[in-house]
Amino acid sequence: MHIPDGFLDTKTIAAAWALSLLGVGRALFALRTRMSLRKVPLMGLAAAFIFVAQMINFPVAGGTSGHLLGAVLAGVLLGPNEAVLVMSVVLVVQCFLFADGGVLSLGANIFNMGLVAALAGYAMYRLMAVPLRGERGRFVAAAFAAWFSTVLAAVCCTGELAWSGTVPWSVAFPAMTGIHILIGIGEALITTLVLAAVYATRPDLLPFGREPEAGGRKGRPIAGALIYGSLVVVGLVLFVLPFASRWPDGLERVAAVFGFRSRSLASPVIRSPLADYRVPGIGSLSWATALAAFIGAAIVFGLSFLLARTVVPKSKDHAR
C-alpha cells in the first residue's frame, strides 16, 4: 500500500511527516543509547532481507501473487525499535530507487508501514503472547499480530486518503479494509511459515521468551511504549476517528476555526447506491466490514493454531 505522490493533500502530508519523523527519531534515539555497534550490520542486512523477502511471490488463484510486508516479522525477529528503523530504511530505498511510493507521501507510507504496522503489530504480538503461552503460543501471537498490522495499516492509509479528499471514506473504508482483511490472512500465514523455517534451522535466533523490554533502561520500562503509543494514537485520531464518529460539539467549534470539520459531515456522502447500501441481514457497509474483520481474525487464529501444532512438537512446547 505504497501511496504515490498526488494522492494526499498538503495538510495530510505534513501531519504524516511530523508523526513519522518523531517515530523514527524515537527509534534512533532508543537504539543509540543502548545499541552495540554489532547491531548496525545486523539491521542493515535485515533491511536488505526484508526488501528481498517482499519481492518473493506467493501465488494466489488466477495468476496474482501475494507478498510479505514483514513489519511484524521484523518486530518478532529483531525488536520493535529495530523494526521501525528497518522498515523505514526499506521504504526510503523503495521510494528513491524504485519509485515505489511518492517522495512527499513517504511520510505517510513510513507512518503506515513503518510505525503503525511495526509497532501496533508488535504490541499486539506481545499482548497475545501473554495468554497464549509457550512457543506455540508465540507463533499464534505472531500470526494474529501480522494480520492485525496489515488491517490497521490499511485503515490508516484509507484515513489519509479520505482526509485528503481523494476518496470518500464510506466507499474506501469497506473496500480497502475488506481487501486487506484477506491480504492480512496471507501476511499471517507467510509470517508464521517464515518463523517456522527459522525455528527449524536456528531456533536460537528466535527471541521467544527473551523479548526486549518496552522502553529504555534505568527503570523507565514504559517510556518507549508510551511515546510510540501516543504517535499511533494521534495518527488514528487524525486520520481515522473523525470518520468513524462525530467529534464532540466543543471540538467541532474549535476545528471549524482552523478550517477542519468533522469529516462525517464534510463532503457529501456519495450519492446512491452505496450510501444507502445495506448488506442484507447486516446493516451498513461499515458493520459488514466489522463482521468481515471478525471472520478474518477467526480464520487467522484457526490456521495459525494448526500451523503452530505442526511446527512445534508437543515435547518442545513449554509454557514460559
Partner 1 sequence: MHHDFIDRFSRLDSPIHGLPPAVKMAAALLFILVSVAAPLRTPFLFPGLALGAALVTVLSRIPALFILRRLFVFEPFVLVIAAVSLLQPGGPMKFESIVVRSTLSLTAVLLVSNTTPFTEVLGVLRRAHAPSVFVTLTALMYRYVFVLIDETQRMRRARLGRTFAKGGVRTWRSAAGIIGLLFVRSTERAERIFAAMSARGWR
Residue 163 CB, nearest approach to partner 1 (Å): 14
Residue 285 CB, nearest approach to partner 1 (Å): 13
Q: Pick out residues in 211-240 that bind partner 1 (CB under 8 A).
A: none
Q: Pick out residues in 284-303 that bind partner 1 (CB under 8 A).
A: none
Among 15, 30, 68, 308, binds partner 1 (CB under 8 A): 68
Residues 6+ apart with CB under 8 A from 98: none
- The candidate with the shortest Cα–Cα distance to 188, out of 64, 72, 58, 50, is 72
What is residue 115's DSSP assignment? I
Q: Is 7 in the site for partner 1 (CB under 8 A)?
A: yes
Q: Which is nearer to partner 1, 193 or 241 (CB)?
A: 193
Query: Helices 71-78 and 121-129 sit at what angle, rounded to 10 degrees?
Result: 60
Residues 6+ apart with CB under 8 A from 252: 246, 261, 262
Q: Which is nearer to partner 1, 89 or 300 (CB)?
A: 89
Among 33, 34, 98, 287, binds partner 1 (CB under 8 A): 98
How far the first Cα of the chain sits from its last, in Å, is 36
In the shown chain, the binding pattern of residues 243 to 282 toward partner 1, with x for contact by CB under 8 A and - for none, equals ------------------------xx-xx--x--------
**63: number of Cβ within 10 Å:** 6
**Residue recorded with cell 463482521:** 291
Residue 41 CB, nearest approach to partner 1 (Å): 4
Residue 108 CB, nearest approach to partner 1 (Å): 12
In the shown chain, the binding pattern of residues 174 to 203 toward partner 1, with x for contact by CB under 8 A and - for none, equals -xx--x---------xx--xxxxxx-xxx-
Environment class of 9 (CB within 10 Å of its CB; exposed 0-12, middle 13-18, buried 19+): middle
